[in-house]
Amino acid sequence: MGRFLDLLKTGPISGFRLRTKLLLLALTTLALPWAGCQYAREMESVLRENEQQSLLAVTTTIAGSLKGRQELLFRADSLPASEQANDPRDITPVVLSGAPLLDGRADEWDQDARSLVRVAGPGGDGLRLFAATHERRLYLAMIVRDNRWVFDASDLTPLDSASIGDRLWLAFDDKRGGQQRLFFGSTGPGAVHARRIETLEYGRETAIDEPRIQGVWQRARDGWVLEIGVPLSMVGQHLGVLVDDRDRRGTPRTSYGTLEASDLRAVGRLIAASPDLNDHLRQFAQPGVEITVASSTGALLTRLDAPALPGDYTRMRGFLPRMYRLFLDGGAIPRAVSEAERAGKAEALTSRAARGTPEAALFGGRYKDSVIVAAAAPIYSADGKRIIGVIQLAQTADRWLTLRDQALTRLLNLTLFVTLFAVGAAFWFAGRMTLRITRLGAASETALGREGSVSRVLPEADAPDELGDLSRSFSSLLGRLDEYTGYLRTLAGKLAHEIRTPLTIIRSSLENLESEAQASNGMGENAKVYIARAREGSERLGAILTAMGAATRVEEAIAHSERHRFDLGALVRSTTDAYGGAFPNRRFVCEVPAERLEINGAPELVVQMLDKLVDNAVDFSTDGATISIVLRAGDSHAELDVTNPGPPLPPEAATRLFESLWQSRAESGTRPHFGLGLYIVRLIAEFHGGSAQAANLPDNSGAVFTIRLLR
Amino acid sequence: MKKTIAIVEDERAIRDNYAAAFSREGYAVRGYPNRRDAMAAFAARLPDLAVIDISLEDEPEGGFELCRDLRGMSPELPIIFLTARDSELDAVSGLRLGADDFLTKDLSLAHLIARVNALFRRVDALRRPPEEKQVIRRGALTLDSERMSVTWNSEVVLLSLTEFWIVYALTKHPGHVKNRQQLMDAANVVLDDNTITSHIKRVRRKFQVVDPAFDAVHTVYGMGYRWVE
């Protein structure tokens, strides 16, 4: 504490005014909001950690419920060796949240690489196959690069070899283990449905419509596009397509695709979730939680989208909350990330889970400040030795963001208010304190009057605090000073009085001695000289005593003076004439207005004042100097200048010259000086409602004393 | 028979010195250090003249009381205040109590003896019929230098010895300016300017008591005073 106070006195803010210092101290309350922010951050990270842990627990629980339920995860009850290397002919449909529009346009398809199967055909031709599931249907888009799209002839049966144009074969296992082979052929762009070839009696073949499998065939920029929808219930474990490309109707075909070209057998697997998986997962559905199940290889099996959150995260609007967030978001909260980045992070989580590590993570959401909590856990086979899939739950953390924002806004509003209040209070207090100190300082500065009189009434004397104490100790100090000044002022008079008695003893003894000696005629010459010297000394002592008591006698004379109107001009003129005789070594010049200049006062005091001024002028000038006495009539005052050539006044003289017992000169001559002459001048001037001032002549060649007397 | 002078003074050295001086002049001197002793002696026998200090031992104003008591016992007894106190107030108080003179201890013994002699002369003169040749007349003023009495328009103006001598010096040569030094010499005193001024002021006031229009003492600033008829 002491060091702190020292710092206040000598530290970097020591040069500031008290008010600024207190204000700076008050600003330290700004640490309150900062501490609040720290606390909120801490709280938030704990909340987040909890959220992750609980989400991970839920994920693990769901994963446990799926343990060994391969038939739920995958469409067929026995998915052959899913750990086998992926066959490039495998079809892995993406899970769509809405049914795609079958319009023969490929551009709206999610260009997800995982669902893409590419088969190159001859001569730069090729097939790109996109697969997707929604609800209980499988959707396929086949984008074929073909320099010429050859239609079937419209007037012939589709089985007539001459009428056959470009064809697309779809083959799959059915649930009973048989092979279904269907083809699409079109006489023009537009809606198509699948047809199958059936062998009738006598080996006659015919094409029968399969109305459950429909699609749209359209021309594309460099070939054609066929989009179809297939009920998943029809499809078994394998599925494939084959393009029969012909350059002209009836010409030999060029075949490429994922079917065995010889017998049109499907060899590529259809890896998709069982339709019952969603029903199973739906029982775990919670608002705001998205559930995703993937195969152990990372292929997405299904995604159960989050039902809408009842109250979504609403950001606090306004300036202050924005400022608070600025305070808070010091990197603790992940930044908003792009869709691809978020997908990448989710995938990384999934792949770690596929290696057997359940894990939870946080990452940035769709917009700034929104955070997603995700947890992934592996799904094990019944024997617990194999990982058959991965389940991931994702949840936006917006709920507790809202909570945090609200709590913080309340907290920060409160602390801001408290801080403002503290600063305001400190400012008010500092201002008041400064004012009081300034007042006390000003009063104590003026308390000591020019003539040494002391005003003992100071402000704040009634205040109960330290300033009051200070004021009171000032007052007692001033009181003591007053007593001391008073003692000094009366000292000369008292001293003169006290010395007078022993002086009288000396003097009367000397006189007796002389008389005795004369009577008896018994004193030698030497003794006479000594007695004369002793008398001379005692007379000088007497003169000194008279001079010492002069001020007291003048004060007394002033107290007993009566005022009457008299002509100051005549007085100054006749007095100046007299000075010529009294000081033959000086020249006196007198200027007095021609008309009468009457003042109301005591002429004998004015004469005495003039005597003192002239004494002073004579003392400071040399023989032959000219002393000028000039009287002027002012509006309210008569002004009297007494000017003498001589040394300039010392700088401090201007304020102290007219004080009692002050003198600037070294002792000279035989006349005693007690610095009382000009004090008497001032007393008399003030008695006449005026003032006394002294100044150097402009060229420093002498001094001028100016007395103003009220007319 | 020798005239008796009583000195009431608490400072033994001063008392003895004054006593020696008066004895040399042929007076019988009795000294008292305080008011009680003095009053006890005065009750038995009054002196012919009393010289009194104002502060006496434990009584700062003892001299004033003594003066009052003494004046009560004898209206004619000359009383001189001789004191270290030189304030205007003390002088006024002392003279108002009926003292014939108020002197400060600055006064030399010779001057003091001159005064004492003068006062004794006056006492003697008062016992004789007035002699015309001692009387100066200046208009309304009549001044008897032996009896040291002054009348203005036939009314008595009571002046102290110092004041009388000042008036005497002024009226001896009316119209002539007497400066301070001359007045001091005439009054056998050494006084400073303010004291002279006070004396002049008191003189004027005393004349104004019997004649409010009195304006015979003029101040010549820087020079002194003169009597104008």
H/E stretch holding A682 reads helix A677-687
- Yes or no, beta carbons of A515 and B21 under 8 Å apart: yes
Strands B49-52 and B4-8: parallel
A274: β partners: none
**pLDDT for residue B110 is more than 90:** no
A575: nearest CA in chain B? B222
| Per-residue model confidence (pLDDT) at position B17 | 92
Q: Which of A271, A261, A214 is nearest to A119 (CA)?
A: A261
pLDDT tens-digit readout, B4-16: 999 999 989 999 9
B-chain residues near A577 (CB < 8 A) = 222
- Yes or no, beta carbons of A557 and B88 under 8 Å apart: yes
Residue A627 and residue A641: Cα distance in Å, rounded? 10
One-letter amino acid for residue A631 of the chain: L
Cβ atoms within 10 Å of A203's Cβ, excluding its own: 6
Hey, of B189, B195, B221, B225, which one would you mutate to test binding to chain A, going by the most A CBs within 10 A of its CB?
B221
Candidate from A512, A546, A576 with C-beta closest to B192: A546
Distance from CA of A491 to the nearest CA of B (A): 15
Give pTM, 2 decimals.
0.53
| Per-residue model confidence (pLDDT) at position A677 | 82
Cβ atoms within 10 Å of A157's Cβ, excluding its own: 11
Candidate from B17, B192, B223 with C-beta closest to A512: B17
Collapse the DSSP code of B79 into the 3-class scheme (helix H, G, I; strand E, B; otherwise coil) and give the result: strand
Identify the contact set of chain B against chain A, taking CB-CB distances under 8 A.
11, 13-14, 17-18, 20-21, 24, 84-89, 104-106, 108-110, 192-195, 197-198, 219-223
**pLDDT (mean) for B141-149:** 85
| Per-residue model confidence (pLDDT) at position A667 | 46
Distance from CA of A506 to the nearest CA of B (A): 9
Contact B5, B123 (CB under 8 A): no
- Yes or no, beta carbons of A577 and B222 under 8 Å apart: yes
Residue A257 and residue A129: Cα distance in Å, rounded? 10
B191: nearest CA in chain A? A546
- Yes or no, beta carbons of A497 and B84 under 8 Å apart: yes
- Yes or no, beta carbons of A554 and B194 under 8 Å apart: yes
Superfamily, domain A562-710: Histidine kinase-like ATPase, C-terminal domain (3.30.565.10)
- Yes or no, beta carbons of A511 and B108 under 8 Å apart: yes
- Yes or no, beta carbons of B14 and A504 under 8 Å apart: yes
A-chain residues near B108 (CB < 8 A) = 507, 511
| Per-residue model confidence (pLDDT) at position A318 | 65
Q: Is A571 exposed, middle or buried (0-12, 13-18, 19+ CB in 10 A)?
A: buried
B25: nearest CA in chain A? A515
Residues of chain A whose pLDDT is less than 70? 1-15, 75-86, 110-114, 156, 275, 306-318, 320-337, 365-370, 398-401, 404, 448-456, 654-655, 660-674
| Per-residue model confidence (pLDDT) at position A78 | 44
Given its phi and psi angles, is residue A63 left (phi above 0), alpha (psi -120 to 50 degrees) or beta?
Answer: alpha
pLDDT tens-digit readout, A284-320: 887 778 888 888 777 777 777 766 554 455 555 567 6
Domains and CATH numbers, chain B: 4-126 (3.40.50.2300), 132-227 (1.10.10.10)
A572: nearest CA in chain B? B221
A549: nearest CA in chain B? B86
A603: nearest CA in chain B? B221
- Yes or no, beta carbons of B106 and A500 under 8 Å apart: yes
Residue A496 and residue A21: Cα distance in Å, rounded? 56
Identify the contact set of chain A against chain B, taking CB-CB distances under 8 A.
497, 500-501, 503-505, 507-509, 511-512, 515-516, 519, 542, 546, 549-550, 552-554, 556-557, 560, 570-571, 574-579, 603-604, 607-608, 610-611
A577: nearest CA in chain B? B222
Candidate from A519, A549, A607 with C-beta closest to B222: A607
| Per-residue model confidence (pLDDT) at position B9 | 92
Distance from CA of B198 to the nearest CA of A (A): 8
**pLDDT (mean) for B147-159:** 87
Residue A4 and residue A429: Cα distance in Å, rounded? 21
Strands A223-231 and A137-145: antiparallel
B-chain residues near A510 (CB < 8 A) = none
| Per-residue model confidence (pLDDT) at position A627 | 92
B18: nearest CA in chain A? A508
Cβ atoms within 10 Å of A407's Cβ, excluding its own: 16
Candidate from B17, B193, B195 with C-beta closest to A508: B17
Residue A531 and residue A514: Cα distance in Å, rounded? 8
Residue A470 and residue A461: Cα distance in Å, rounded? 8
Q: How far is CA A497 from CA A14, B34, B35, B87, in A?
A: 55, 20, 22, 11
Tell me the HSE value of A24 on the side-chain side, using a 13 A CA sphere. 12
Cβ atoms within 10 Å of A264's Cβ, excluding its own: 18
Domain positions in chain A are 45-70+275-319+336-404, 94-257, 466-548, 562-710
Tell me phi and psi for residue A47, to 5 degrees: -60, -45
| Per-residue model confidence (pLDDT) at position A311 | 47
Q: Is B199 exposed, middle or buried (0-12, 13-18, 19+ CB in 10 A)?
A: buried
A-chain residues near B21 (CB < 8 A) = 508, 511-512, 515
A vs B: CB pairs below 8 A = 91
- Greater confidence, B171 or A445? B171
- Yes or no, beta carbons of B84 and A604 under 8 Å apart: no
Q: At a CB cut-off of 8 Å and minimum separation 6, what does A525 contact?
A: none
- Yes or no, beta carbons of A553 and B86 under 8 Å apart: yes
Contact B170, B217 (CB under 8 A): yes
B112: nearest CA in chain A? A508
Residue B119 and residue B99: Cα distance in Å, rounded? 12
Hey, of A490, A494, A497, A505, which one would you mutate to test binding to chain B, going by the most B CBs within 10 A of its CB?
A505
- Yes or no, beta carbons of A501 and B194 under 8 Å apart: no
- Yes or no, beta carbons of B14 and A501 under 8 Å apart: yes
Tell me phi and psi for residue A291, to 5 degrees: -110, 130
Distance from CA of B129 to the nearest CA of A (A): 36
Q: What is the DSSP letter of A261?
A: T
Q: Which of A69-83, A103-117, B28-42, B95-109 has the lowest mean pLDDT?
A: A69-83
Collapse the DSSP code of A684 into the 3-class scheme (helix H, G, I; strand E, B; otherwise coil) and give the result: helix
A-chain residues near B13 (CB < 8 A) = 505, 509
- Yes or no, beta carbons of A607 and B86 under 8 Å apart: no
A-chain residues near B87 (CB < 8 A) = 552-553, 556
- Yes or no, beta carbons of A607 and B89 under 8 Å apart: no
Domain A45-70+275-319+336-404 classification at class level: alpha beta
| Per-residue model confidence (pLDDT) at position A94 | 78
B-chain residues near A680 (CB < 8 A) = none
Q: Which of B186, B197, B199, B196 is nearest to B92 (CA)?
A: B199
B220: nearest CA in chain A? A574
Q: Is A193 exposed, middle or buried (0-12, 13-18, 19+ CB in 10 A)?
A: middle
Q: Which of A231, A230, A233 is nearest to A215 (CA)?
A: A230
Contact B182, B225 (CB under 8 A): no
Domain A94-257 classification at class level: mainly beta
